[in-house]
């Protein structure tokens, strides 16, 4: 540090600046001393010799006595972000062996019944036209459509407005739509105003939370929060449903309550893979809907910070897709041999959370 201060000519000017500066430094030091005196009570107590003979921990048996860390206070004093304290980041279902077993059985089954990975390289300006062609000429439909990812530039309002999503998506069908906090307002408008919007009901709101100061997934990293009150550390994904599906009777189509509405960045995985959507998001979708016809639309370039990998069981369309192997007729053949839904097994059915019979589900 000192090297810079001495070496730099401008430094002299600023350090020899004004008298008022020195006064405030004095004041500040005084304050510091006072502050330290006031706060010394707790560190001293911690190593107080009179406590030596006593046991230095206690056992709490009743929930009202439980000590809870105040992560907001901790953040103020240490800068440790609250999210970093979550203990099940690496294994979200730790402590729940049945759920763990269910998840692995479901992934096994999903892997058995899936198409090969398909990619369609389509430039941004050809996106609307391509989807139109898929709908009208090739009569393609998908049961699951995901749009965008962890990148602001994927949300292009005029383009999205003109996508024929209602025709591309079968009924019942599911839409997973990514947006940043700033874009949620536009997403609301899109669902209310576009020709296809009225046909999709907003059903869940998923949130992705980046972990760590240097996460590649922190939205708009270089933006100073001048307009927003809080620092943005989240991504939103709206799950919308079209058509009728009931969770109590349609277990061949959906399995509910397997995953949660939060995905916390799994730093173990993201250190080696910086996919435009977290892999756990694909898994969440696959766990929820049994459909094998899944499409992911990325309207814009994924940029240098993120990568785009094809995934078995999905068609991924976007300008940055490396393997351009999608052919609608080949795809239809592939799906007819794979089957349009992943069948369940007895053990999966036994383990999966079920809705209580009496409460009628509403859509």
* Rounded least distance, CB 2 to other proteins, Å: 9
* Rounded least distance, CB 221 to other proteins, Å: 7
**Between residues 10 and 272, which has the closer beta carbon with respect to other proteins?**
10
Beta bridge mates, 177:
147, 238
* Rounded least distance, CB 103 to other proteins, Å: 10
Residue numbers 206-265 binding other proteins by CB under 8 A:
206-207, 209, 213, 220-234, 236, 239, 247, 254, 256-262, 264
* Rounded least distance, CB 183 to other proteins, Å: 8
Residue 1 engages other proteins in binding (rule: CB under 8 A) = yes
* Rounded least distance, CB 81 to other proteins, Å: 6
* Rounded least distance, CB 77 to other proteins, Å: 5
Q: Are 181 and 152 in contact (CB under 8 A)?
A: no
Residue numbers 313-352 binding other proteins by CB under 8 A:
none
**Between residues 115 and 210, which has the closer beta carbon with respect to other proteins?**
210
Task: Annotate 293-306 with three-state secondary structure.
Answer: CEEEECCCCCCCCC
Residue numbers 17-56 binding other proteins by CB under 8 A:
17, 20-21, 24-25, 27-28, 31-32, 35, 37-42, 45-46, 51, 54-56
Q: How many CB atoms lie within 10 A of CB 144?
A: 23
* Rounded least distance, CB 362 to other proteins, Å: 7
Coil, strand or helix at 289: strand
**Between residues 37 and 336, which has the closer beta carbon with respect to other proteins?**
37
Q: Is 43 exposed, middle or buried (0-12, 13-18, 19+ CB in 10 A)?
A: exposed
CA–CA dist 291, 315 (Å, integer): 13
Applying CB under 8 A, which part among 81-89, 107-115, 310-318, 321-329 lies near other proteins?
81-89
Q: Are 354 and 247 in contact (CB under 8 A)?
A: no
Residue numbers 53-72 binding other proteins by CB under 8 A:
54-61, 63, 66-72
**Between residues 325 and 355, which has the closer beta carbon with respect to other proteins?**
355
**Position among 113, 121, 141, 202 found at the interface with other proteins (CB under 8 A):** 202
Residue numbers 160-189 binding other proteins by CB under 8 A:
181-186, 188
Backbone torsion region of residue 61, taken as left when φ is above 0, otherwise alpha when ψ lies between -120 and 50, otherwise beta: alpha
Cα dihedral 158, 208, 175, 274, rounded to 10, equals 80
Q: Which CA distances in Å does 45 have to 49, 295, 328, 346? A: 9, 60, 72, 59
Angle between helices 97-112 and 279-288 (to 10 degrees): 90
**Between residues 5 and 327, which has the closer beta carbon with respect to other proteins?**
5
């Amino acid at each position: 540090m000192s090297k810079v201060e001495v070496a730099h000519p401008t430094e002299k000017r600023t350090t020899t600046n004004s008298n008022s500066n020195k006064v405030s430094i004095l004041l500040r030091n005084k304050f510091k001393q006072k502050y330290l005196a006031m706060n010394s009570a707790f560190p001293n107590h911690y190593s107080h010799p009179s406590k030596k003979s006593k046991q230095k921990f206690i056992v709490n048996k009743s929930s009202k006595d439980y000590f809870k860390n105040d992560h907001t206070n901790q953040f103020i004093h240490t800068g440790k972000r609250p999210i970093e304290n979550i203990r099940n980041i690496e294994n979200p279902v730790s402590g729940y062996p049945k759920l763990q077993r269910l998840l692995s059985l479901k992934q096994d089954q999903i892997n058995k019944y899936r198409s090969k990975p398909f990619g369609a390289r389509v430039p941004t300006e050809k996106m609307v036209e391509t989807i139109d062609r898929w709908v009208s000429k090739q009569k393609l439909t998908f049961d699951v459509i995901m749009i965008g990812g962890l990148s602001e530039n994927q949300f292009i309002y005029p383009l999205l407005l003109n996508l024929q999503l209602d025709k591309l998506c079968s009924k019942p069908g599911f839409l997973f739509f990514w947006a940043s906090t700033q874009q949620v307002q536009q997403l609301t408008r899109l669902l209310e105003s576009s020709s296809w919007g009225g046909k999709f009901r907003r059903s869940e709101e998923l949130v992705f939370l980046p972990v760590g100061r240097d996460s590649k997934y922190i939205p708009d990293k270089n933006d100073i929060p001048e307009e927003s009150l809080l620092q943005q550390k989240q991504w939103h994904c709206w799950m919308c449903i079209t058509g009728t599906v009931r969770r109590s009777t349609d277990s061949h189509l959906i399995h509910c309550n397997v995953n949660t509405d939060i995905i916390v960045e799994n730093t173990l995985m993201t250190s080696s893979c910086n996919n435009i959507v977290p892999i756990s998001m694909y898994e969440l979708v696959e766990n929820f809907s049994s459909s094998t016809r899944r499409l992911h639309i990325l309207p814009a370039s994924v940029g240098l910070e993120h990568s785009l990998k094809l995934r078995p069981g999905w068609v991924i369309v976007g300008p940055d897709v490396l393997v351009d192997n999608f052919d609608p007729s080949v795809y239809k053949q592939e799906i007819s041999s794979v089957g349009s839904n992943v069948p369940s097994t007895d053990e999966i059915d036994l383990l999966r959370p079920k809705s209580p019979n009496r409460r009628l589900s509403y859509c």
